[in-house]
């Protein structure tokens, strides 16, 4: 995997790190919400839809930057940050999937989770 030269602007690198940490913190909160047995199914599903929208946006941005070949041009740090977020999103979906299984609706939710996993495989290939 080739690696683009990291930004020589320390401020830009710091902003990227702060943004990544904020996104990870938000997704961690979502994981807590969907894992809480007191969270109702509607809320859990809404959180998962938000997580799915975030995953969609990540894939769209990577593709719009230059297609999947753009992935190889990203610095390894950025690739790692993106994969960390995508893996956290999968955790959100797994938490909600359990709720859907309890309600007998796992088929629909499993399809969405598989879409997210496929996107994760595509951007890391």
93: in domain: yes
In the block, residue with structure tokens 């070949």:
69
Residue pLDDT, tens place only, 72-93: 888 888 888 989 999 999 999 8
Backbone φ and ψ for 104, nearest 5 degrees, come out as 75, 25
- Extract the tokens encoding 88: 């956290």
The stretch 3-25 carries a mean pLDDT of 69
Cα–Cα distance, 116 to 124 (Å, whole number): 12
Residue 10 pLDDT > 90? no
4: in domain: no
CA dihedral 30, 91, 38, 25 (to 10 degrees): -30
2: in domain: no
Residue 3 pLDDT > 70? no
109: in domain: yes
Closest residue by Cα to residue 87 from 123, 62, 61: 123
Residue pLDDT, tens place only, 17-52: 788 899 999 999 999 999 998 998 889 989 999 999
Give the pLDDT band (50/70/90) at residue 2.
Answer: very low
Domain interval for residue 68? 10-33+41-124
5: in domain: no
70: in domain: yes
Structurally, how many domains does the chain consist of?
Answer: 1
28: in domain: yes
| Contact yes or no for 86/79 (Cβ under 8 A) | no
94: in domain: yes
Give the pLDDT band (50/70/90) at residue 5.
Answer: very low
What pTM was computed for the model? 0.70
């Amino acid at each position: 995997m080739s690696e683009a030269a990291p930004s020589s602007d320390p401020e830009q690198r710091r902003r990227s790190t702060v943004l990544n940490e904020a996104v990870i913190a938000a997704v961690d909160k979502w994981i807590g919400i969907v894992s809480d047995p007191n969270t109702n199914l509607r809320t859990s599903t809404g959180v998962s839809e938000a997580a799915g929208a975030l995953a969609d946006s990540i894939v769209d941005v990577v593709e719009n930057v230059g297609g999947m070949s753009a992935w190889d041009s990203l610095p390894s740090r950025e690739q790692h940050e993106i994969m960390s977020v995508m893996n956290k999103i999968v955790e959100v979906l797994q938490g909600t999937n359990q709720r859907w299984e309890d309600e007998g609706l796992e088929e629909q939710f499993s399809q969405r989770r598989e879409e997210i996993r496929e996107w994760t495989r595509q951007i890391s290939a």
